[in-house]
Amino acid sequence: MHCLRLSLAVFLSIAAAISTIAQSAPKSLTEQLGYPPNAKLLIVHADDLGVTHSVNAASIKALESGAVNSASIMVPCPWFPEIADYAKSHPEMDFGLHLTLTSERIYIRWGPVASADEVRSLLDENSYFHHDWTPATKIDPQEVEIELRAQIDRAYAMGVRPTHLDSHQYRLDSTGKELFEVALRLAHQYQLPFFVARDWFADYPYLASTLGSEDVVIDHTITVEPGVRPEKWAEFYKNALRDLQPGVTELVIHLAYDDSEMRAATRERDTWGAAWRQRDFDFFTGPEFRRLLKDQNIQLVTWRQIANRPKLR
Amino acid sequence: MHCLRLSLAVFLSIAAAISTIAQSAPKSLTEQLGYPPNAKLLIVHADDLGVTHSVNAASIKALESGAVNSASIMVPCPWFPEIADYAKSHPEMDFGLHLTLTSERIYIRWGPVASADEVRSLLDENSYFHHDWTPATKIDPQEVEIELRAQIDRAYAMGVRPTHLDSHQYRLDSTGKELFEVALRLAHQYQLPFFVARDWFADYPYLASTLGSEDVVIDHTITVEPGVRPEKWAEFYKNALRDLQPGVTELVIHLAYDDSEMRAATRERDTWGAAWRQRDFDFFTGPEFRRLLKDQNIQLVTWRQIANRPKLR
């Protein structure tokens, strides 16, 4: 019995010592996920689900092929019910909510989930979300919170169980401290991680100063930009994967088929248009991407794993 | 000079006599349009524009082919901006507004143009329009008026100059006197004819008793119903055109392509689905329809002609 007490005392001392060490050097997100610190972890994440049937169909196809492993959904968009129904019947899939405050197309548009009168600063003269935000667009953060709460609540009500939150066009990350605070408040209230990448801290210093110690920060993010010529698409991704840094990276991609619906929906400009999305689909469902993941020893992780990771330091 | 005075007196007497005769037997709509009373006049009218790109594209194609000569647009639907843009740049086309109070599909849905808080009786628990109305659905006529005014105002604001109003799923005609009164109030306020057919008077007696002497009444309406088997489609229309009665008839049709978007949008049931709409498209853009119009001496008229007809009795 004495012996046991002694052992317990020794054990507690050792545990306290470990805890002190751990507190002085918090585990990285990669370690929290159970990987060695220099592991290369990747979320292959499709954006914009719900916008059109074409986006939904291509994204589902890519998710079911297994090489794309996460996605996020735009609740105010017309085809949200289709993807909500799919999410409900596929609870194992890693679906987040792509919180939406703009309606950036011309021939297909959407408006608020909240009552229009409650969120007037977010709307144009026809009660759609603004096409874009300019310095003259005065966005009321309280209205942003009302609208986004309505989007999240509709998603839950229609059977979606989101694993994470992120922001369409990065509006909540890049518009100022106040909107970023709204995003974090929602993340805390619904107990969901909100997508923030350490890459963005230099451009938006309020991100680092606003985040709390319990908030998730992804290390890096990669996305193809308009400067990449169509014929260089695969090369861009190949180089990005070969140069992938240790840590958690989110690869943000945009899937759809280059079909009549998607061509009509995006015909005013090529950026993030039908052909762009078909190129993404072709690369991320093709054999080369899988081969690169294997050759570069890249492990896929999901937002669900991030949300459920043990948070012990 | 005396002679002229006498002639004027005679002329006025004759005019008064004609006017008396005319008042005792008002001109039919057919006559008001400048046709003999036994003429067979037809509006070939495509419904549901704005719902999907597929509906818009097929309807535009059929309107431009010339054998379909009128259509109406659903303002709350996602592809309204596409068809509004087309209507704005084609002011010669005969576009009405298909006043919408329901969202009858499952995988693609839409909600109000008015602020949701102002029209709660029209909305389901997710703030879409009700999928259907049952006896338990308590629709507030004042909210119907608020919503429909918002739809009409958005259409004008986005450049549509409607030639007429009609009602998606005939909700405003078939739900009771109060909603029909809302439709007529809007028709009067915006000075647009509202589609009512004499065929419906027996089933809905409040129609005849609510209509004023200045309101337009179409004589007949024809539309293919779910009972018609796909292989009998053309035969149904051929018989309908061969049996066409004198007067003004509206042929209500539903156009779209049987493509991936439309199949996905309507996959829960075949009625008014993608294949149905492709059948309508094929018949009304095909040579047989034109031949039948010619053979049966059927004249096409538009809602614009009806709205602009001389109203002298």
- Put simply, the answer to whether B115 touches A113 (Cβ < 8 Å) is no
Place of tokens 């535009």: B60
Task: Taking residues A6-10, report their average pLDDT.
Answer: 53
Sorted by sequence, the CB contacts under 8 Å of residue A126 that are 6+ apart come out as: B154, B157, B158
SS3 content of chain B, % helix, strand, coil (to 5): 45, 15, 40
What pTM was estimated for this model as a whole? 0.92
Task: Taking residues B110-138, report their average pLDDT.
Answer: 97
Cβ atoms of residues A59 and A71 within 8 Å? yes
CA B140, B172, B50: angle at the middle one, nearest 5?
Answer: 105
pLDDT at residue A311 is higher than 90: no
State the ipTM, two decimals.
0.91
pLDDT at residue B110 is higher than 80: yes
| Per-residue tokens: A108 | 């297909």
Q: Please tell me whether residue B166 adopts helix, strand or coil conformation.
A: strand
- Put simply, the answer to whether A82 touches B158 (Cβ < 8 Å) is no
Cβ atoms of residues A66 and A94 within 8 Å? no
- Put simply, the answer to whether B106 touches A81 (Cβ < 8 Å) is yes
Size of interface A-B (CB pairs under 8 A): 94
Compare CB distances from B53 to A116, A117, A260 and report the shortest one's residue. Answer: A260
Residue A24: the pLDDT is: 56
- Put simply, the answer to whether A260 touches B117 (Cβ < 8 Å) is no
- Put simply, the answer to whether B108 touches A261 (Cβ < 8 Å) is no
Supply the DSSP symbol for A27: P
Compare CB distances from B82 to A107, A257, A259 and report the shortest one's residue. Answer: A107
Beta-sheet pairing, A247-253 with A220-222:
parallel
Q: What are the pLDDT digits (tens) for A104-124? A: 999 999 999 999 999 999 999
A264 vs B contacts (CB less than 8 Å): 53, 56-57, 82
When the pLDDT of each residue in chain A is averaged and rounded to a whole number, the result is 93
Q: What are the pLDDT digits (tens) for A35-93? A: 999 999 999 999 999 999 999 999 999 999 978 999 999 999 999 999 999 999 999 99
Nearest chain A residue to B123 by CA distance is A115
Environment class of residue B292 by beta-carbon count within 10 Å: exposed (0-12), middle (13-18) or buried (19+)? middle
- Put simply, the answer to whether A52 touches B265 (Cβ < 8 Å) is no
Residues of B with CB under 8 A from a CB of A: 52-54, 56-57, 77-82, 85, 106-110, 113-118, 125-127, 150, 154, 157-158, 257, 259-261, 264-265
Cβ atoms of residues B164 and B306 within 8 Å? yes
Cβ atoms within 10 Å of A179's Cβ, excluding its own: 20
- Put simply, the answer to whether B57 touches A260 (Cβ < 8 Å) is yes
B110 vs A contacts (CB less than 8 Å): 78
Beta-sheet pairing, B165-167 with A70-73:
unpaired
Angstroms from B115 CA to nearest CA on chain A: 5
- Put simply, the answer to whether A126 touches B264 (Cβ < 8 Å) is no
Angstroms from A266 CA to nearest CA on chain B: 11
pLDDT at residue A7 is higher than 60: no
Amino acid letter, residue A5: R
State the pLDDT confidence band at B1, using cuts at 50, 70 and 90. very low
Compare CB distances from A57 to B77, B257, B260 and report the shortest one's residue. Answer: B260
pLDDT at residue B18 is higher than 60: no
Q: What are the pLDDT digits (tens) for A229-274? A: 999 999 999 999 999 999 999 999 999 999 999 999 999 999 999 9
DSSP string for residues in A175-243: S-HHHHHHHHHHHHHHT--B--BGGGTTT-THHHHH--TTS--BSEEE---TTS-GGGHHHHHHHHHHT
Residue A1: the pLDDT is: 42
- Put simply, the answer to whether A107 touches B85 (Cβ < 8 Å) is yes
A127 Rama sector, left if φ>0, alpha if ψ -120 to 50, beta otherwise: left
A107 vs B contacts (CB less than 8 Å): 53, 79, 81-82, 85
DSSP string for residues in B12-45: HHHHHHHHHHHHHSPPPHHHHTTS-TT-EEEEEE
